[in-house]
């Protein structure tokens, strides 16, 4: 059945470059118009998201010029995933020369079971079931900020599973690229300010948290006809993260096969960590089927709200708003 489906998809992809007739109900995919409607609803429901036009040179003509992609910025990410949970299957994603490279590949460790289609489908079912359960909890208001990652394992289990190797925390520019502080004084040339009793500085206030942050973007993937999530992160000092550092904040369970570092689809000059959308429609379909069984049909304009709740399982420590109700 799934072979048939994929064959059908291949043929359809060939004949219809841009999806025009809605196949939301049958395949949980979106036309560009439906993507825009879902985006409008998301912006209406949650004002931290907004439409952006992006770089005109990268404009897609099947989307309105001022509604090319959605973004939310400055989203906190307090902890690394390896601090929250340990996956036996977790492997360092290979990057070139000592970690400042950008290539993240599907890693299958030696001895790791080859993931077959069947177990993939099981995983999707698990994701969908877990998701619907969570959604029910959200709706009843028993938990306002669910999808918190599981608590840190007990010390004994932490010891049994050492944290990922150090080069996982890959590195910023070489130390000798950073001018020493004397240089900085030189560069500061003549600037002085008297102590200002009216100023509260983020660097010294104990009430202000220093944390990684992410800018998120939702783009429309014409090939898969689904939304696609892209991330770009900053460290505690607001300097850009490397690709390897960003991978620390993406769940290995769901994403170690499907994260790629790639140029932002709508902006020049930034490489983002993109969650590859090849299974998005499948998961969304399963989630929607489960919800329909539970008597809760998802409307097409609610697609992105459900999608963001689903994505929260992929980036569980990135603290964006995925708690909004469907209605």
Partner 1 sequence: MQFQTLTSVVEPTFWHALAELKLDVLKLDDSTVPLAATLEPGTLVQTSEAAYSSMPACISFDRASLLRGLERADAAASPSARACRVPGLLKNVNTIEDFKALDKPALFASVANTIWQSTTSGTALTDPTELVRFLLVAYADLKKHKFYYWFGFPALTALSDAQIVRRATLAGEFGAEKTAAISSIFRDHIAEFAFLLTVDDAKNVHYAPFKDITILAREGRKFLVAFVDPSSLADSPGWPLRNLLTFLAHLQLHHVTILCGRNDLRTSRTPDGVGQQSLVLDVALGSLDIPASVSTPPAVGWERHPSGKLAPRVIDLSHMMDPQRLAESAV
Judge contact between 146 and 134, C-beta under 8 A.
yes
We find the least distance from the C-beta atom of residue 295 to partner 1, in angstroms, to be: 23
CA distances, 243 to each of 1, 58, 70, 320 (Å): 37, 22, 21, 20
**Nearer to partner 1 among residue 20 and residue 136 (C-beta):** 136
Indicate which single residue of 24, 51, 224, 307 sits in contact with partner 1 (rule: CB under 8 A).
51
Name the nearest CA neighbour of 214 among 182, 191, 248, 181: 248
We find the least distance from the C-beta atom of residue 247 to partner 1, in angstroms, to be: 14
> What residues contact residue 265 under an 8 Å CB cut-off, 6+ apart?
54, 58, 69, 219, 228, 230
Structural tokens at position 14: 């060939």
Residue ranges in 156-215 that form contacts with partner 1 under rule CB under 8 A = 172-173, 177-179, 181, 184-194, 196-205, 207-211, 213, 215
Using the rule CB under 8 A, give the single segment among 16-24, 238-246, 280-288, 303-311 that binds partner 1: 238-246
Pick the catalytic residue: 278, 292, 297, 325? 278
Residue ranges in 25-44 that form contacts with partner 1 under rule CB under 8 A = 43
Question: 278 catalytic, yes or no?
Answer: yes
We find the least distance from the C-beta atom of residue 91 to partner 1, in angstroms, to be: 19
**Nearer to partner 1 among residue 21 and residue 57 (C-beta):** 57
We find the least distance from the C-beta atom of residue 281 to partner 1, in angstroms, to be: 27
Residues in binding contact with partner 1, number by CB under 8 A = 80
> What residues contact residue 133 under an 8 Å CB cut-off, 6+ apart?
none
Indicate which single residue of 13, 33, 40, 55 sits in contact with partner 1 (rule: CB under 8 A).
55
Residue ranges in 90-119 that form contacts with partner 1 under rule CB under 8 A = 95-97, 100-103
User: Biggest alpha carbon distance in the chain?
Assistant: 73
Name the nearest CA neighbour of 220 among 66, 13, 41, 29: 29
We find the least distance from the C-beta atom of residue 147 to partner 1, in angstroms, to be: 11
Concatenate the DSSP letters of all residues of 110-139 into one string: TTPPP--HHHHHHHHHHHHHHHHHHHHHHH
- Verify binding: residue 155, partner 1, rule CB under 8 A: no
**Nearer to partner 1 among residue 23 and residue 73 (C-beta):** 73
Residue ranges in 239-258 that form contacts with partner 1 under rule CB under 8 A = 239-240, 242
We find the least distance from the C-beta atom of residue 177 to partner 1, in angstroms, to be: 5
**Nearer to partner 1 among residue 95 and residue 248 (C-beta):** 95
- Compute the distance between CA of residue 108 and CA of residue 8 in angstroms, rounded to an integer: 29
We find the least distance from the C-beta atom of residue 69 to partner 1, in angstroms, to be: 11
Structural tokens at position 120: 């993939």
Number of neighbours of residue 85 by Cβ within 10 angstroms: 18
Residue written as token pair 């690709």: 243
Using the rule CB under 8 A, give the single segment among 124-132, 245-253, 281-289, 319-327 that binds partner 1: 319-327
Judge contact between 252 and 316, C-beta under 8 A.
no
H or E stretch covering 74: strand 69-77
Residue ranges in 279-318 that form contacts with partner 1 under rule CB under 8 A = none
CA 134, 137, 139, 144 torsion: positive or negative? negative
Query: Half-sphere exposure of 325 toward its Cβ, with a 13 Å CA cutoff?
Result: 10
- Enumerate the active-site residues: 278
């Amino acid at each position: 059945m799934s072979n048939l489906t994929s064959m059908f998809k291949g043929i359809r992809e060939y004949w219809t470059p841009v999806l025009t007739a809605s196949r939301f109900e049958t395949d949980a995919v979106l036309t560009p118009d439906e993507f825009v409607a879902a985006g409008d609803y998301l912006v209406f429901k949650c004002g931290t998201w907004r439409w952006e036009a992006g770089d005109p040179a990268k404009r897609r003509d099947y989307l309105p010029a001022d509604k090319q992609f959605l973004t939310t910025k400055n989203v906190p990410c307090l902890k690394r995933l390896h601090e929250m949970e340990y996956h036996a299957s977790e492997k360092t994603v290979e990057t070139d020369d000592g970690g400042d490279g950008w290539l993240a590949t599907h890693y299958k460790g030696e001895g790791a079971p080859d993931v077959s289609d069947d177990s993939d489908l099981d995983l999707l079912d698990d994701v969908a079931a877990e998701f619907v359960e969570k959604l029910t909890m959200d709706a009843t208001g028993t938990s306002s900020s669910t999808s918190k990652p599981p608590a840190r394992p007990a010390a004994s289990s932490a010891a049994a599973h050492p944290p990922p190797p150090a080069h996982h925390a890959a590195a910023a520019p070489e130390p000798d690229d950073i001018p020493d502080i004397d240089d900085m004084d030189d560069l500061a040339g003549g600037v002085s300010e008297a102590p200002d009793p009216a100023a509260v500085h983020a660097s010294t206030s104990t009430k202000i948290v220093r944390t990684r942050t992410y800018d998120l973007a939702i783009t429309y993937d014409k090939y898969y006809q689904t939304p696609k999530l892209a991330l770009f992160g900053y460290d505690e000092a607001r300097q850009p993260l490397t690709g390897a550092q960003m991978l620390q904040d993406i769940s290995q369970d769901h994403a170690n096969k499907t994260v790629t570092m790639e140029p932002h689809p709508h902006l020049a000059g930034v490489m983002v960590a993109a969650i590859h959308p090849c299974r998005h429609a499948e998961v969304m379909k399963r989630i929607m089927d489960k919800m329909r069984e539970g008597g809760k049909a998802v409307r097409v304009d609610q697609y992105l709200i459900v999608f963001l709740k689903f994505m929260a399982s992929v980036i569980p420590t990135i603290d964006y708003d995925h708690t909004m109700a469907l209605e």
